[in-house]
Chain A
Amino acid sequence: MATRATAPAVTGTRGQTPGRTAPVRRAGQGQTASWRSSLAGVGFVIPFLVAYGLFLVWPVIQGFRMSLFNWSLTGSGTTDFLGLGNYREAWADPNFWSSLWHTVLFTLLSTPPLVILSLILALLANRVIPARWLFRLAFFAPYLLPVSVVTLIWGWLYQPGFGLINGYLTRAGLDEVGWLSDANVAMISIVITTVWWTIGFNFVLYLAGLQEISPDIYEAAALDGATGLEQVRSITLPLLARTTTLILVLQVLASLKVFDQIFLLTNGGPNFSTRPIIQYVYEQGFTTYRVGFASAISYIFFLLIIVISLGQFALLGRRRERANG
């Protein structure tokens, strides 16, 4: 507990550099030296700033400008100012709302298992057991696979008829499940695939968090007669709270950005029932050539992500303050 309480204070002093630079500024020649060094610093940063401005800041501004025009991929409509017309159209577009809902639904379904399961796997793999390295590797390995391989594997696993999963189901006397072809099941199948594929990342973060916890604490607890479960509840989980916060924030953002595995597994089908918002942006921009409209959708989505992130930080930040206070 003590380590966590002091952590913000440490970063605080480190962040406050004036304490270190202030004495230098008092001397005259020191000032030119400092100027020179900060000029050099700016010089070192410039290449990055240019790339950052050119490839991030400018496209963001340009994208917003596009969203106000009837901008086409082929270059027409760039002077056809619509004001908020594209935004109004998106607001009234049922496809926009349904694809936005699919993204939110995916996030709601995938985040809890990806956080909770990764914690359980980390707790298991952190125990002193034979071949511990093997378990760590096994849980992390799927994360190393590229998305095309993952979707190829799972596409065949989910196959009706001779797919592995349906093969077992029929052999057990059960009905086949249309894993990717049934509109009510397809999203769950995608979540299962995603959990299998990406859980390794959260797992490694948790594992690192677990190894930070000093064994002394467990030893003290054991001397006081705490059982294994009590140790997990009162020592491990509280000390992992910061890791959990980090994982939660990263996971929600990653889930909201879902696109590739859905695009490759179902292409948003069946009958658009899994199409995420990013695929809708892609289709509007690159299949229908309506870059202006696509930009408007992506800006609405961008806004949503900002709101969710700020809400998350506020919520988690408040909780941490309460805990520290």
Chain B
Amino acid sequence: MVGGPENVPPMGGAPLTRRRLLQGATALAGGLAASSAGFGTVAAQDRRELRFWNLFGGGDGARLQEMQAAFSTATPDIDLEAVTFAWGPPYYTKLAMSAVGGRPPAVAVLHASRLPSYAPAGLLEPLDPAVLTEYDIGPDKFLPEVWEGMQFEGSPYAIPLDIHPFIMYYNTEICQQAGLLGPDGNLVRPQGPDAVIDAFRRAQAVTGELGLTYQTNGVQPWRLFSGLYAQTGGQVLSPDGSELILDDVKATQVLEFMAELTVGSKVAAPNQDGPASVAFFSNKSGGFHLNGGWEVTTFETEGVPFSAVPFPNVFGTDQTWADSHVFVLPRQPNEDPDRLDASLRFISFMLQNSLTWAEGGHVPSYMPVATSPEFAALQPQANYAAAAEGPVYDPRAWFSGAAAPLQEEAGAAFGSVLNGQQTPQQGLAQFRAAMEDMLRTPEPL
């Protein structure tokens, strides 16, 4: 699962084997482990070892393992050794330390939003577009705006596996009764703040409980704010990440809308955590649900009659918060053309088979898959794939990105607005102060 630490059940990760434990411990030992050179060369000499680190638990983890198994069958000369760590800070801490300590994996997964804290710090290898093209993963295989997000100082540093936008789920039966569906049986997307709240209210009239189920703590308040604020044309940080350019008027407008959902119109509960927001949508207590695409399989498993559309146009554009899972090559202490070859073959295979990955609710970023008839037939993913075209990535700064301080501070400040414990003005002032504090903090990378 990619949602956030609050979305990941602790038992969701891959089983902890002794080897994994040892590897984690070695990674943690970091600099101290310099003497452990030669560790990991246990594989037979004729097979090339490829170490791959990721942070996928739950359904994503299961699909990843399926893809890895397919890779191992198709590529017997590479001994793939995949390690899954806990989502969030535990993973990012280990990855950064392994790169510093000179024992990084050959390939690792990163959130695109985390590139700003990894690429400039010299923790990643820049990639050569010409070489990538040899492996069918050149720049022409991705949307230009997505590929642009992989660049730092003119070089690409990552290969995107997916885009996972913040979308709007809806219960087809409840929305049918509320008269919100068009003649084609699909939701007529409401537009503008009043129409959106009205749609939630009409669903609420059907359920008798809630119109919208939505997590009001953790990172989610930030994801909602981020997309809405971008729709107003506002930006949080200057492009180089050095200055706070938060527009108080626009941000207040967004926060007032968010407070209207939970405190004003009460179409959503002011105090729902992640599991509860999912459970309330699953048990038909709410007609709509806002979340990332990663809950698709949950609702499929629960047998909820649902579909999903891109996040509504509230303030003038279709933009919505999004992030991408990307493959990166951590900076290695030595050059090894064999390792590079194995790494790129692995990444290329994963991208070409990312239809499996898309079943988990992610939109493939690899165009040959994204434009394939197979993906077009995948519902509801194909319904909201358009959301991937207006992605709002987190602002670029060392303290920004998945599970980084900006998300945490914003989630706390804006969550308290959704809770009704602070006014929009107070929440905004708290966020502003926290960001100014982060900008004053010397960059630790």
A residues neighboring B (CB under 8 Å): 70, 72-77, 148, 155, 159-162, 178, 180-183, 267, 269-272, 283, 286-290
Contact = CB atoms under 8 A, between A and B. Distances in A.
Given A267-B218, A269-B217, A288-B441, A182 B89 contact: no
B419 A181 contact: yes
A233 to B, nearest CB: 45
Contact of A271 (B10, B416, B444): B416
B96 A160 contact: no
B272 A271 contact: no
B89 A287 contact: yes
Interface residues of B, number: 44
Given A74-B96, A75-B31, A161 B280 contact: yes
B180 interface: no
Contacts of A287: 89, 93, 403-405, 408
Given A74-B444, A181-B273, A287-B403, A271 B421 contact: yes
B161 to A, nearest CB: 24
A272 B412 contact: yes
Interface string B78-94: 00000000000110010
A161 B218 contact: no
Contacts of B123: 74
Contacts of A180: 273
B271 A267 contact: no
B412 A269 contact: yes
Chain B binding surface, main DSSP class: helix
B76 interface: no
24 contacts: A74-B445, A76-B444, A148-B10, A159-B273, A159-B276, A160-B276, A161-B272, A161-B285, A162-B279, A180-B273, A181-B216, A181-B217, A181-B271, A182-B421, A269-B217, A269-B218, A269-B412, A269-B415, A270-B217, A283-B405, A287-B89, A288-B405, A289-B96, A290-B444
A160 B419 CA distance: 13
A270 B421 contact: yes
Contacts of A72: 444-445
Contacts of B93: 73, 286-287, 289
Interface in B318-345: none
A289 B217 contact: no
Nearest to B271: A181
A271 B276 contact: no
B97 A74 contact: yes
A271 B280 contact: no
B121 A74 contact: yes
Contacts of B441: 288, 290
Nearest to B123: A74
B125 interface: no
A291 to B, nearest CB: 8
Contacts of B445: 72, 74, 76, 289
B65 to A, nearest CB: 23
Contacts of A178: 271, 419
